[in-house]
C-alpha cells in the first residue's frame, strides 16, 4: 500500500483542509442519511434524526477527544490550545460512543422514544462512519501496527507495518451490512445495538493487539479491556432480552410486533 503524500486534502485562503476531517465528516453525514431513511421502520419521525444529530455528533467528538486526552494527559496538561487541536488526529472511538450514545439515550427519554429502539436505528450508520473515518488514520500515518512483510503493509517512518486502520475499516464496512440485516429481522429491541457491541468488540480486541500506539490502562491495553467487558455485558444482555421477547411471544402469540413508540410493523 503506498504512503500518502500528505494529510492535507486542499488549502482555502491559506487554511489547510485535512483528509482526517473530511473523512470523519463524510462518515457522520452518511450515518445521518441512513438513520433518516430507516427511521420509519423504527416508528421514529425522520426529522427527529436531525435534532438528535445536532446534539449527539458534537457530544461524540468531545467524547472522542476527552477520552484520548485523558489517557495522554502528560502530553496535554496545561496546554488548552493543544487539547482543542484535533486537526492532526487524537480521537478515541470508545469515548465518542460513550458520549454520543449517552446523549442520544437522554434525548430519546425526553422525546418518548424507547432508548434501545433509538440506538438500534443508529448503530449500522455508526459502523459505516467508523469504516470511512479510519482512513483518516492512514493519511495521518497513525493507529498502525508493528512490523510486517505482508503484501498490504504500509510504510511509516521507513518501516513496513500492519495497516490496522485498514483491518478495522474492512470489518466495520462488513459489519454495516450485517447490522442492517439484523435490524431488518430483529426480534427484540436492543438486538441490533447489542450485536454491534459484541461484533465490533471482538474485532477490536484482536486488532488492538497489533497496534503500537494503544492507550494503556496500567500494563493493559485499555481498548482490549473495554472490548472484553463489552462482549460479556452485551452477550448477557442479549440473552436476557431474547428470552424476555420469547416469553412475551409465547404469552401473546397473536400480537403483532411493535416498535419503540408503539407502532406496528409494516412494509417500508
Comparing 170 with 17, the larger pLDDT belongs to 170
Confidence of residue 228 (pLDDT cuts 50, 70, 90): very high
pLDDT attached to residue 251: 87
131 in Cβ contact with 27 (< 8 Å): yes
Query: For residue 18, which phi and psi values (nearest 5 degrees)?
Result: -90, 145
Instruction: Let me know if residue 7 belongs to a domain.
Output: no
pLDDT in tens, 185-211: 999 999 999 999 999 999 999 999 999
Question: Can you list the alpha helix ranges (DSSP code H) found in the chain?
Answer: 19-38, 48-71, 73-76, 80-84, 93-110, 115-133, 135-140, 164-184, 191-208, 222-251
Instruction: Let me know if residue 4 belongs to a domain.
Output: no
pLDDT attached to residue 1: 74
60 in Cβ contact with 97 (< 8 Å): yes
Distance CA 37, CA 68 (A): 32
91 in Cβ contact with 128 (< 8 Å): no
Instruction: Let me know if residue 8 belongs to a domain.
Output: no
For the chain, the domain total comes to 1
- Count CB atoms within 10 A of the CB of residue 181: 13
Confidence of residue 253 (pLDDT cuts 50, 70, 90): low
Q: Tell which residue, 116, 86, 81, has the closest CA to residue 101.
A: 116
Please state the rounded mean pLDDT for residues 222-250: 95
Distance CA 48, CA 173 (A): 26
Please state the rounded mean pLDDT for residues 237-245: 97
Instruction: Let me know if residue 235 belongs to a domain.
Output: yes
pLDDT attached to residue 159: 93
pLDDT in tens, 150-182: 999 999 988 999 999 999 999 999 999 999 999
Instruction: Let me know if residue 249 belongs to a domain.
Output: no
**Residues near 227 by Cβ (< 8 Å), separated by ≥ 6?**
201, 202, 204, 205, 208
pLDDT, averaged across the chain? 91
Q: What CA–CA distances, in Å, run from 69 to 52, 196, 205, 212, 215?
A: 26, 26, 21, 17, 10
pLDDT attached to residue 249: 87
> Is pLDDT above 70 for 266?
no
pLDDT in tens, 89-132: 788 899 999 999 999 999 999 999 999 999 999 999 999 999 99
Instruction: Let me know if residue 187 belongs to a domain.
Output: yes
Range of the domain at 236: 13-244
Instruction: Let me know if residue 265 belongs to a domain.
Output: no
Amino acid at each position: 500500500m503506498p504512503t500518502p503524500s500528505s494529510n492535507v486534502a486542499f488549502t482555502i485562503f491559506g487554511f489547510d483542509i485535512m483528509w482526517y476531517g473530511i473523512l470523519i465528516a463524510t462518515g457522520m453525514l452518511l450515518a445521518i442519511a441512513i438513520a433518516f431513511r430507516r427511521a420509519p421502520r423504527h416508528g421514529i419521525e425522520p426529522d427527529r434524526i436531525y435534532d438528535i444529530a445536532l446534539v449527539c455528533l458534537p457530544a461524540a467528538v468531545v467524547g472522542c477527544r476527552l477520552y484520548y486526552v485523558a489517557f495522554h494527559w502528560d502530553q496535554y496538561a496545561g496546554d488548552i490550545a493543544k487539547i482543542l487541536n484535533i486537526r492532526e488526529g487524537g480521537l478515541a472511538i470508545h469515548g465518542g460512543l460513550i458520549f454520543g450514545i449517552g446523549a442520544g439515550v437522554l434525548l430519546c427519554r425526553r422525546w418518548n422514544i424507547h432508548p434501545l429502539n433509538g440506538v438500534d436505528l443508529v448503530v449500522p450508520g455508526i459502523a459505516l462512519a467508523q469504516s470511512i473515518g479510519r482512513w483518516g488514520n492512514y493519511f495521518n500515518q497513525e493507529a498502525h501496527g508493528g512490523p510486517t512483510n505482508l503484501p498490504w503493509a504500509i510504510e511509516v517512518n521507513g518501516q513496513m507495518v500492519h495497516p490496522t486502520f485498514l483491518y478495522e475499516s474492512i470489518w466495520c464496512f462488513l459489519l454495516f451490512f450485517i447490522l442492517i440485516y439484523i435490524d431488518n429481522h430483529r426480534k427484540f429491541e436492543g438486538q441490533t445495538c447489542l450485536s454491534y457491541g459484541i461484533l465490533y468488540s471482538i474485532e477490536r480486541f484482536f486488532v488492538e493487539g497489533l497496534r503500537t500506539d494503544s492507550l494503556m490502562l496500567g500494563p493493559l491495553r485499555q481498548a482490549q479491556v473495554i472490548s472484553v467487558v463489552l462482549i460479556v455485558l452485551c452477550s448477557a444482555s442479549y440473552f436476557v432480552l431474547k428470552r424476555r421477547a420469547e416469553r412475551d411471544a409465547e404469552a401473546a402469540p397473536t400480537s403483532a410486533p411493535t416498535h419503540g413508540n408503539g407502532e406496528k410493523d409494516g412494509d417500508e
